[in-house]
């Protein structure tokens, strides 16, 4: 099975299972606090690979006066984002492919105070992941923040196995509790093939990239097995 995000089933499957990702609420909190630390209310925020808009939407609830751009390349995801945020003031929803060099300049006619992303950039080839981080640095305002809530690679097979067991357990428990008895093996057989499109990069590698390309205070601020929140700031 090859997932393509432009497929409606893949979009709906992710959105309806997102809540089962362990510790998601803490990852949002960490991302919000990274952005808050720019020391001024952000005036412009971009969410890359926004999906249904959960991450940018969380920022919008805190800073409703900021101009928020939700960007994705998947028509069914963009449809969900429009259903959730299409009527909101200060929210623009745009189709954009993050693989295209120069995409950040096209998305940002003016410098932005925060670029956020969640579980999206790991779908790009590894060299493009790094190049995109450079493009993000280029469009940030001085002092602006980049924060990525990302699915990253485990450092070894053992911790990878523990992570997936936890994820499958959690999903099986939630489904069973809501009236659909489900075993973790059933969840595994459903979820594992959907991971084939991932190009996971270790978080320590990604933080090093950010430091090397000139982000200030680049760090991984939250990590639970393969899910990590990391980012950095454009020097003021």
Ligand X SMILES: C[S@@+](CC[C@H](N)C(=O)[O-])C[C@H]1O[C@@H](n2cnc3c(N)ncnc32)[C@H](O)[C@@H]1O
Rg of the chain over CA atoms, in angstroms?
A: 17
Q: Which stretch binds ligand X (CB under 6 A): 59-67, 97-105, 153-161, 162-170?
A: 97-105
Strand ranges, E, within the chain: 44-48, 67-72, 91-95, 112-118, 140-151, 216-224, 227-233
The binder of ligand X chosen from 49, 57, 231, 232 (CB under 6 A):
49
Q: How far is the CB of 211 from ligand X (least distance, A)?
A: 24
Cα distances (angstroms) measured from residue 66 to each of 44, 57, 59, 139, 141: 5, 11, 9, 16, 14
How far apart are CB 104 and ligand X at their closest, in Å? Answer: 12
Residue 70 near ligand X by CB under 6 A = no
Q: Smallest distance, Å, CB 174 to ligand X?
A: 17
Binding mask 116-155 for ligand X (x = CB under 6 A): --xxx--xx-------------------------------
13 vs 211, which CB is nearer to ligand X? 13
DSSP class of 114:
E
**Which CB sits closer to ligand X, 106 or 208?**
106
User: Closest approach of Cβ 189 to ligand X, in Å?
Assistant: 19
209: its two tokens: 């990239």
Beta-bridge mates of residue 219: 231
Closest to ligand X by CB, 88 or 211: 88
Question: Helix, strand, or coil here: 223?
Answer: strand
- What is the DSSP annotation of 62-112? H-TTSEEEEEES-HHHHHHHHHHHTTSTTEEEEE--TTSTTHHHHH-SS-E
Q: Judged by CB, which is closer to ligand X: 22, or 143?
A: 22
Pick between residue 99 and residue 177 the one whose CB is nearest to ligand X.
99
Q: Is 26 in the site for ligand X (CB under 6 A)?
A: no
């Amino acid at each position: 099975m090859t997932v393509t995000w432009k497929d409606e089933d893949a979009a709906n499957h992710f959105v309806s299972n997102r809540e089962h990702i362990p510790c998601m609420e803490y990852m949002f909190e960490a991302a919000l606090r990274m952005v808050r630390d720019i020391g001024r209310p952000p005036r412009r925020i971009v969410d890359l690979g926004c999906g249904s808009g959960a991450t940018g939407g969380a920022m919008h609830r805190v800073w409703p006066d900021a101009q928020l751009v939700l960007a994705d390349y998947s028509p069914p995801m963009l449809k969900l984002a429009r259903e959730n945020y299409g009527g909101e003031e200060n929210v623009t929803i745009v189709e954009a492919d993050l693989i295209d060099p120069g995409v950040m300049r096209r998305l940002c006619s003016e410098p932005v105070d925060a670029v956020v992303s969640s579980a999206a950039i790991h779908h790009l080839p590894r060299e493009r992941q790094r190049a995109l981080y450079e493009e993000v640095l280029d469009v940030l305002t001085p002092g602006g923040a980049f924060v990525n809530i990302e699915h990253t690679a485990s450092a070894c097979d053992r911790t990878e196995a523990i992570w997936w067991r936890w994820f499958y357990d959690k999903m099986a428990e939630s489904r069973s509790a809501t009236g659909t008895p489900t075993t973790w093996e059933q969840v595994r057989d459903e979820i594992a093939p959907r991971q084939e499109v991932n190009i996971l990069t270790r978080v320590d590698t990604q933080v090093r990239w950010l430091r090397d390309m000139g982000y200030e205070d680049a760090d991984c601020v939250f990590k639970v097995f393969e899910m990590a929140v990391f980012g950095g700031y454009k020097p003021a």
